[in-house]
Structure 1
Amino acid sequence: MNRKTLVLAAAIGLLAPVLAACGETESGSGGDDAIVVGTTDRFTASKDAPAPLDPAYAYDVGTWNILRQTVQTLMVQPRGEGEPVPEAAESCGFTDAGNERYSCTLRDGLTFASGDPVTAADVKYSIDRARSLKADSGVFALLSTIDTVETQGEREVIFHLKSADATFPYKLSTPVAGIIDPDSYAKGELRDGFEVDGSGPYTLDAEVEGDELVRATFTKNPDYKGALKVNNDKVEMVSFEDADAMGEALEKKDIDVMSRTMSPEQIQKLAGNADDDLDLVEMPGLEIRYLAFNTEAETVRSKAVRQAMAQVVNRSELVSKVYGSQAEPLYSLVPASITGHSNSFFNKYGDPSTAKARALLQKAGVTTPVELTLHYTTDHYGPATKKEFEQLKKQLNDSGLFKVDIKGTPWSTFRPAEMKGEYDVYGMGWFPDFPDADNFLAPFLDEDNFLGSPYSNAEIRKNLIPESRRQADRLSAAGSLTDMQDIVAADVPVLPLWQGKQYVAARDDITGTAYALNSSSTLQLWELGRGVSG
């Protein structure tokens, strides 16, 4: 079979597990004919983040992709586009006209991997625990509209909301709302380490060396009851030092699937080479990249500095030189394919202009060149990140208005430092928790935002976010969503750069790759199977 590129119509995201392993497997079939998935990301427990796999703490696409295989949620997002459907629940729905009371009935006979039954009380315990712990990752903010959780009998859970929230079913599909065994997770503290106990389609065997997860083995849970069909008995995840080593392993049949993160050059080669039995699956993406600002830092406290950067940065040139056809310029936090998107940054700043940027700085009395350090992570968003920041540095410095340096740091150090406010300007990526404009705005702008940003806008927090959530028809929310995007373009607490397409490469005897990821970047290992090489 010739190597081919499969292009999917659904807007689905890219697998981004953060695991670390010691190298290649003995064969592509893995132990017991396991399907082996390669990644270049690392997953580390540290002093700053000792509980990376606790649902009450985990808040990046990698840890979530582990939890989604092992911990059930009441709702789950479907294969492609569409609203969430019941998973651990038999049924769920709003029971009032105001979208403030939401009720779920559990499936009959659910059990944890330990054999203990899953009850409504366990659901209440799990969600109340995450809300009360308020982990510094900020993930608990996804549950911020909950007022109280009530149970009726063994199977019914009722959520009373503080205010209308049409996105609430989506939030119940995220791992922070995962159902955990109270016997394994203490109420008042996070669970350190890499163990996971749930009722999902797989159990996890975590092979740990020191403070790193070196191999993750997902074994089909024989007692699983839910909406998902599991097409394999075992999947192993292995991490490689870089994309080249991962690609070589795929060529040598040491792994079956290559996921995040391939280099742009690697993707081009896979797409254009027709002499092998490998398939490259290309999907429109909801991944975005952006610069974030500590708006209280002296270097960027002046709004004019941030606006000048927005006026100078040339997104089209950046994308062309670094990612080519694999990404598109982005002029809002909300991707172009999401209902409610507005090109707010282009509407305000137009094409890049040094003259307009200079005028902004002069009007504000800012002395030039403005000295800045742009921070980026070296091992979390792929091998092209350094090249991307070199281009940003060049664009800003060529304007004569900035004197920019760049500094790369491993994710295990970068993320805690960012959360503590140690960086004035830094690069981040975002894979949505769920595919709705609310999830590209509230996590950055609301109280307890996941960046720990000091930026606060009362109109957004008190009026616009609640207004948008009252609209079950998301088209009807476009007005408040656009207003939020316009405020972001004016104040520039973040500077959106691009949105990317998504890719998975696999040997052609692996089936289900078209459904291995859904619209919110969820890894769905249960979709993978082993067929016949053609």
Structure 2
Amino acid sequence: MNRKTLVLPAVIGLLAPVLAACGGSDGGGNDDKPIVVGTTDRFAVTKQVPAPFDPAYAYDVGSWNLMRQTVQGLMRVPRGGGEPEPDAAEKCGFTDSGNERYECTLREGLTFADGTPITSSDVKFSLARVLSLKAETAIRGLFTNIDTMETPSKRKVVFHLKSADATFPYKLATPNAGLVSSKQYSAKKFRKGFQLDGSGPYTVDMQSKGGELTKAVYTKNPKYKGSIELQNNKAEVRPFASSAAMTAKLKSGEVDVLGRTITPAEVKSMSENPPKHVSLVESPGLEISYVAFNTESGQASDKAVRQAMAQLIDRGEIASKAYGTAAEPLYSIVPATITGHTNPFFNVYGDPSTEKARTILGKANITTPVKLDLTYTTDHYGTQTKKQFEVLSKQLNDSGLFDVTIKGKPWDTFRGEELKRKYDVYGMGWFPDFADPDSFIAPFLDKENILNTPYDNEEIRSKLIPQSRSEADRLSATPSIEDIQDIVAKDVPMLPIWQGKTYAAARDDITGVEWVLSSSSVLQLWELGRGVAG
């Protein structure tokens, strides 16, 4: 069976049974042959990235996707999105009217995969590690609002927050809030290498060569207690150097599912000329791409330079030339489909205009052409990243107002240097920690942000972010969210470019493909099953 399926939130529940029927899944997950999932994400242990799978260190979508299968959190976001539900916990909830006291009760008989009982002390230990180890990735920023943690009983843990935070349940659903054992994870240092242990639905055997991961083999954890129902007993994630190499293995049957990242060219090819026994699934995505700035260094430290770039770029051309139909122009740091989204960059700058950009630079007495080095990562957001920044730099240079040189570096080097503020202008991508506007704001603009940016807007940090988090009804947080977006459009500490779609492809004897990647690109291996080819 050859098919291309568009999965939309409004109809996803209706499509799921149809897709499952096409595959003919037996639902039992009794086949011990692993379901092989390909990815173009690379995983290496380097001096810059020593602990890619330690919950107290890792903060990128690729690592998170491998961690989620093995490390269990108190909460988890259901496969179709929505509010988090208990996983390691039996129940959780705010116990006050101000969203400052959050209490969880663990499931009875909960254990790590090695059989060690899990208690509330393990919960406290796990989150205390994240806070105390202070990883340069800034992952602790998700939890710095925790004031104290109490363990009144072996199964109960109470979080006292410094200020109201209605998004706290979502943060407890991230892999960095995953429960780890003090037997395997030190309180004083990161767990280096590829080791990964927890109480999640799978155990994992990570195989590597030359400091780089070659495959991660997941086996059903018989001791798992949680809300996930596994549709298979074994799955394998296998990294590939390119989308083309990954797709070739899918066509030959050596790979069952393609995850991140299928290039636009491969999407187009599979859409127009579907390979035999291969299915392509498309769904709305929350991935965003943007240019970030060191606002205290180089030419880009001048706000007028950043504003002029915002005035010049043609997002539609960048998206179409680099990604085809797989990306759409984005005029805010908060993507469309997220509550509170507006289009402030279009409202402020309108259509691209060289004359308006020239005026901005002229009023600031800036000599043109402005020379800039723009650095991007060659291997973390897909092979089309280079094309994206070639188009963007050409737009800027063709105006005569800029002289931009682009440089590509591998992620293992890029990320470490970016955190040390070695780049004045650089390209980044983002997959949200959870589907809430806070996850597109605080990681970039709050204290201890993921970019280690020097940009500090007091109104955003001290007033608007706390104000938005105090609203349990997220719709009520919209005014604060809109104000933040407006400030960003005027100050331009970051420049949004596009919002992407999510694609997965699979052999048509595989079921659950429509669930394997969420809109936030969360990998859910447990949804995959093996049925009968159509």
TM-score range normalised by the length of the shorter chain: over 0.9
Q: 1:510·1:531 contact (CA, 8 Å) conserved in 2? A: yes
Letter in 2 for 1:266: E
Q: In the comparison of the two structures, how many residue pairs are matched? A: 516
Per the alignment, residue 165 of structure 1 pairs with: 165
Pair 1:283-2:320 in alignment: no
Letter in 2 for 1:319: A
Q: 1:78·1:518 contact (CA, 8 Å) conserved in 2? A: no
Per the alignment, residue 107 of structure 2 pairs with: 107
Per the alignment, residue 373 of structure 2 pairs with: 373
Q: Secondary structure at the match of 1:225?
A: coil
Q: 1:444·1:451 contact (CA, 8 Å) conserved in 2? A: yes
Alignment map for 1:91-240 (pairs within 5 Å)? 91-240=91-240
Q: 1:11·1:519 contact (CA, 8 Å) conserved in 2? A: no
Q: What root-mean-square deviation, in Å, do the aligned CA atoms of Structure 1 and Structure 2 show? A: 1.4
Q: 2:247·2:258 contact (CA, 8 Å) conserved in 1? A: yes
Q: Secondary structure at the match of 2:387?
A: helix
Pair 1:321-2:326 in alignment: no
Q: 2:380·2:411 contact (CA, 8 Å) conserved in 1? A: yes
For 2:487 and 2:59, the matched residues in 1 are separated by 26
- Residue deviations 1:253-307 (CA, integer Å, cap 9, x gap): 1100111111111101111224521100001000000000011112211000000
Q: Secondary structure at the match of 1:69?
A: coil
- Residue deviations 1:368-405 (CA, integer Å, cap 9, x gap): 00011111111111111111111011100000000111
Pair 1:7-2:6 in alignment: yes
Q: Secondary structure at the match of 2:204?
A: strand
- How far 1:11 sits from its partner (Å)? 9.4
Letter in 2 for 1:176: N
Pair 1:435-2:400 in alignment: no
Q: 1:10·1:81 contact (CA, 8 Å) conserved in 2? A: no
Q: Secondary structure at the match of 1:152?
A: strand
- Residue deviations 1:191-217 (CA, integer Å, cap 9, x gap): 111111100000010112231111111
For 1:261 and 1:78, the matched residues in 2 are separated by 23
Q: 2:271·2:280 contact (CA, 8 Å) conserved in 1? A: yes
Q: Secondary structure at the match of 1:506?
A: strand
Per the alignment, residue 483 of structure 2 pairs with: 483
For 2:10 and 2:42, the matched residues in 1 are separated by 26
For 1:475 and 1:219, the matched residues in 2 are separated by 41
For 1:263 and 1:229, the matched residues in 2 are separated by 31
Letter in 2 for 1:112: F
With normalisation by structure 2, the TM-score equals 0.95
Structure 1 unaligned residues grouped into runs of 5+: 13-28
Per the alignment, residue 26 of structure 2 pairs with: none
Q: 1:291·1:496 contact (CA, 8 Å) conserved in 2? A: yes
- Residue deviations 1:37-75 (CA, integer Å, cap 9, x gap): 111221011112211111000100111111110011000
Q: 1:45·1:212 contact (CA, 8 Å) conserved in 2? A: yes
For 2:239 and 2:104, the matched residues in 1 are separated by 38
For 2:463 and 2:496, the matched residues in 1 are separated by 23
- How far 1:32 sits from its partner (Å)? 4.5
Q: 1:10·1:519 contact (CA, 8 Å) conserved in 2? A: no
Letter in 2 for 1:83: E
Per the alignment, residue 395 of structure 1 pairs with: 395
For 1:343 and 1:383, the matched residues in 2 are separated by 28
Letter in 1 for 2:147: D
For the structure 1 residues 226 and 34, does the alpha-carbon distance in structure 2 shift closer, same or farther, using more than 3 Å as the test?
Answer: same
Letter in 2 for 1:247: T
Per the alignment, residue 35 of structure 2 pairs with: 35
Per the alignment, residue 62 of structure 2 pairs with: 62
Q: Secondary structure at the match of 2:69?
A: helix
For the structure 1 residues 122 and 398, does the alpha-carbon distance in structure 2 shift closer, same or farther, using more than 3 Å as the test?
Answer: same
Letter in 1 for 2:276: D
Q: 1:256·1:510 contact (CA, 8 Å) conserved in 2? A: yes
For 2:250 and 2:290, the matched residues in 1 are separated by 31
Per the alignment, residue 504 of structure 1 pairs with: 504
Q: Secondary structure at the match of 1:340?
A: coil
Letter in 2 for 1:382: G
Pair 1:268-2:268 in alignment: yes
Mean CA deviation greater in 124-133 or 433-442: 124-133
Per the alignment, residue 19 of structure 1 pairs with: none
For 2:320 and 2:210, the matched residues in 1 are separated by 41
For the structure 1 residues 81 and 32, does the alpha-carbon distance in structure 2 shift closer, same or farther, using more than 3 Å as the test?
Answer: closer
- How far 1:34 sits from its partner (Å)? 0.5
- How far 1:467 sits from its partner (Å)? 0.2
For 2:160 and 2:41, the matched residues in 1 are separated by 39
Pair 1:292-2:292 in alignment: yes
Q: Secondary structure at the match of 2:504?
A: strand
Q: Secondary structure at the match of 1:328?
A: strand
- Residue deviations 1:11-44 (CA, integer Å, cap 9, x gap): 99xxxxxxxxxxxxxxxx9x94100011122101
- How far 1:316 sits from its partner (Å)? 1.0
Q: 2:70·2:196 contact (CA, 8 Å) conserved in 1? A: yes
Letter in 1 for 2:514: A
Per the alignment, residue 14 of structure 2 pairs with: none
Pair 1:305-2:309 in alignment: no
- How far 1:314 sits from its partner (Å)? 0.4
For 2:249 and 2:271, the matched residues in 1 are separated by 18
For the structure 1 residues 167 and 489, does the alpha-carbon distance in structure 2 shift closer, same or farther, using more than 3 Å as the test?
Answer: same
- How far 1:517 sits from its partner (Å)? 2.1
For 2:494 and 2:70, the matched residues in 1 are separated by 34
Letter in 2 for 1:323: Y
Per the alignment, residue 363 of structure 2 pairs with: 363
Instruction: Calculate percent identity across the aligned residue pairs.
Output: 61
Q: 2:288·2:497 contact (CA, 8 Å) conserved in 1? A: yes
